[in-house]
Structure 1
Amino acid sequence: RQSQSSFTCQQCGFCLNADHNAAINISRADVKRPLVSASNG
């Protein structure tokens, strides 16, 4: 990357603040995680 503060997609050229892009990726990954309840042992 030319700049650490911006992210540009190599396929489509979409450009976004790198921190904002990371937050989106993390939130999407978290949504895909299964909900697990605590076991009562």
Structure 2
Amino acid sequence: MTERQNNTSSTSKPKTFFQRIIEARQRQADRYIAERRFDF
């Protein structure tokens, strides 16, 4: 509830949408890097 309120008040809707995508991609990248790291 609070998180959604902050996102709506601080950033516009399209920006929040892009932020979501960026966060998801960052998580994927971090997971990929971690997997590669443990691969060695």
Q: TM-score, normalised by structure 1?
A: 0.46
- From the two aligned structures, give the one with the greater strand fraction: 1
Larger-gyration structure (1/2)? 1
More helix by share: 2
Higher relative CO (CA 8 A, sep ≥ 6), structure 1 or 2?
1
